[in-house]
Structure formats: C-alpha cells, structure tokens
Structure 1
Amino acid sequence: MNLKTVGYTGSKSESSMHHFLSQLPPLNLPRQTVNRIQKGQGRLSVLTAALREAGYELRPTPETLAGRQGQREAARKAALSRNTIAALAGGQGTVASYLALAAALKVEPHIVKRKAFAACLSSRDQTWQTPADLLAAILQAAGREAFDLDPCSPSSDGPVPAALHWTEVDDGLARSWQGLVFVNPPYSRALPQWVAKCKEEGERGATVIGLVPSRTDTRWWHDHVAGRADIIMLRGRLRFGGGAHSAPFPSALVVWGDSQLADSGN
C-alpha cells in the first residue's frame, strides 16, 4: 500500500505505523483482516471491537481524536478529506486515516489494558450485553418468563431476566448450576473456562444456554461444543447492548442438556 494515498508522506509516518503495530496484542481476527490492518487498510471499527474483545482499548478513541479540532482544520492538517474526518468522528474510517490524523495533531496513539477487563468482561461492559430481543426470543422458545440463573452477571439485578444473578464476587465458575441457565461468557482468555463449565453443568443436569462467538476452529469449540451440545447458528452479526456497531464476529447459541429446547429455537 502507498501510504501517501492516506496522508502518510515520509519515513516518520511509516515509523509511527510500525510503532503502533508493535503494540497490537494477539487478536481473534482472520489472517486476511489482520493483514489489512497491518497495511493500514483495515476498518478502524473492526480493530477497536477486536481490541475490546481482547481486553484492550485504543487511546485516544477515534471520536476523541477527531473532536480535538474542527473537522475542516483537522482535514487540512492531516491532508484528509472532511468525509474521512467525519467517519473517524463516528468511529469509522481506516487504521491509516486514524494514524494520519494522530500524526498531524502530534498525538501518539496507545493500546492499553481496559480497566474493566476481568472474569465477566462481556456482561460488565454495556457494549457486550446480550440483545434484549434475543433474550426474549429464547425465553419464548423455552416457555418461560425468566431463567433460573445468570452465573456471569454485571450486578445482582443484571440485565438478563433471571431468578439469580451471580457476579464476579460470587464466582460462578466455582459453583454448581441448576435449572435453566443463561450464560453470556467473557469474550476473553477466560472464555474456554466458561464454555467447559457450561458443558460440565449440562452433563450434571442443568439446561445451559450459552451465547458464544462462532469460533469453529478453536480447541474449546471442538472440546466442549461440537458433538457435545446443540448449536443454533445466528444469522448476521449481533449488535450487543448499547454498541454502535455490529460485532466483528458471528455468534451462536449453544444448548447443553436439552435437545428439545434447541429444536424449538430453530
């Protein structure tokens, strides 16, 4: 890629790109998408969503960076179009355009650990909360008004309709589950542990419904999902909670312990 086409004009900018890329943690993205990000062509929204999933965040955010000056002045300084600046202000645009604006404004982007990165990241963060209409559809298929348990809840009265909500303090991984259980596990390094727990509790008699990324190439999927549970592949990409954009990955509902419930949801 010719960096001059997106506002990069010299070795300093290329060095900035290399420095930025050196900060990237391992991301759960297709190789082709990673390659596009490394070339600066990747969509910024995909990168920020993948960083969030991995427990990181980009600072300053594209919205914050684009709002530091008027769009016309920012476009002039970065040699970018006003449409590109407007896209950045909405969290869109490319990685290269973000870095071009940062360089023009003499701001050094950083990738940092999210403060809320812990055992229940996906539930604690509004961005990854289960869509309410999906929860309603699951309960309708189950003939229930509420689940018996949400073992990975952001609070004792969390957003999932359930008789019991266990928070990080309650340590749902260490306790036994009973009844109809809904789990939106953390989409982080703890994900395999939660999926293994779902399978274990399903084998012990609970009916466990998990909302998980459809990562059919992973070890946890083959060990605890494929051939061990019923799978409902969801069409399209979910828009979690208050997220402004759809998730950068497909999702699946996995049912451990009750095949009839899975059939009713198809």
Structure 2
Amino acid sequence: MSMAVHYSSEKHDWTTPRSFFDELNAEFNFTLDAAASPHNALCSRYFTEADDGLSQPWTGTVWCNPPYGRQIGRWIAKAAQSACEGATVVMLIPARTDTAAWHDHILFNPQAEVRFVRGRLRFGDATANAPFPSAVIIFRPGGQG
C-alpha cells in the first residue's frame, strides 16, 4: 500500500499518538474528544461519526483530531465558533497554511494560538510517519469565529 493511499481521506479515524496527546492533556485536562471512535477515543466523553460531532455542542476543554478529508474546514470553523461560545478547543491538523480554513479561522484570529509540530507524527498503526507536517491549534474562549 502506498503512503498516498495509506494517508488518503478514505480513512478518517487516525489515532493520535498517545504520548503526544498525554503531553497536551497534562496542560489542558481535556473533557471531550470531539472526533473519535470507540477504539480511539482519548476522553471518557467523546463524539463518534454516528454522533456527528459537527452538530453537537462543544463545551469545556475539547480535544479534536478531526477527519483530514475535504470536510476539515468545517471542523476548524466549528472549533473557532465553539471558542466564541466559551470552550477551549485544541486541534491537531495538517499544517496547510495556504488553505481557506487557515486564513478564515486561524491566521488572523487573535484567539487562535498555533504550535507547529517538529518532525512528522506517526498516527495509530501506521507503518510510516505522516507525509505532511502537523500543527496544534488552540482556540481560546472569546473572540470571533
């Protein structure tokens, strides 16, 4: 299987590397995993694909490693809006700074903190590191979506 297929949008539930999550969880103490499945949820409270996390309210301190397919912009917009409504949302996303979602919701949003990840992450049971750089985006409460 080629890496392009291995990381294609056909698979939506890549598991966050546990040690990577644990370090962020020690800082933020997450209360909700907004995009999970029963086998990869990182919080006791989580939304699955069947729950449709985009249609649910995100409250508290939220972890989100969203599906990396074409709908990722909707997840980023939801995170920014949830922060406007009082949540703290921490997302792990590809560092694709040329996309509309980055420009519309991250780069010029004073409530968004960007932390670029050094190196390439290895997700779940992948046999190789991701073929793209990653970033952690922290949307703090308040501001504009």
Q: TM-score, normalised by structure 1?
A: 0.49
- The alpha carbon displacement at 1:49 in A equals 2.8
**Residue 50 of structure 1: aligned partner:** 4
- The alpha carbon displacement at 1:191 in A equals 0.7
Counterparts of 1:160 and 1:226, CA distance in 2: 28
Q: Which runs of 5+ in 2 are unaligned?
A: none
Counterparts of 1:237 and 1:255, CA distance in 2: 19
Runs of at least 4 residues off by over 4 Å = none
Q: Which runs of 5+ in 1 are unaligned?
A: 1-44, 56-113, 259-266
**Residue 193 of structure 1: aligned partner:** 74
Counterparts of 2:122 and 2:36, CA distance in 1: 19
How far does the alpha carbon of each residue in 1:82-124 deviate from its partner, in whole angstroms, 9 at most, with x for none?
A: xxxxxxxxxxxxxxxxxxxxxxxxxxxxxxxx4xx5xxx1x2x
**Residue 263 of structure 1: aligned partner:** none
CA contact (8 A) 1:151 1:183 kept: yes
- The alpha carbon displacement at 1:216 in A equals 0.7
Matched-pair identity in %: 37
Equivalent residues in 2 for 1:93-242, closer than 5 Å: 114=10, 117=11, 121=12, 123=13, 128-142=14-28, 144=29, 147-155=30-38, 158-228=39-109, 229-242=112-125
Q: Which has the larger radius of gyration?
A: 1
* AA in 1 matched with 2:94: P
How far does the alpha carbon of each residue in 1:7-53 deviate from its partner, in whole angstroms, 9 at most, with x for none?
A: xxxxxxxxxxxxxxxxxxxxxxxxxxxxxxxxxxxxxx8xx333343
Q: Which has the higher contact order (CA 8 A, sep 6+)?
A: 2
How far does the alpha carbon of each residue in 1:154-178 deviate from its partner, in whole angstroms, 9 at most, with x for none?
A: 12xx434313111111111011110
Aligned residue-pair number: 139
CA contact (8 A) 2:7 2:130 kept: no
**Residue 250 of structure 1: aligned partner:** 133
Counterparts of 2:8 and 2:71, CA distance in 1: 10
- The alpha carbon displacement at 1:227 in A equals 2.3
Q: Please, what is the CA RMSD of the aligned residues?
A: 1.6
Equivalent residues in 2 for 1:52-67, closer than 5 Å: 52-55=6-9
CA contact (8 A) 1:181 1:208 kept: yes
Q: TM-score, normalised by structure 2?
A: 0.88
**Residue 98 of structure 1: aligned partner:** none
- Structure with the larger helix share: 1
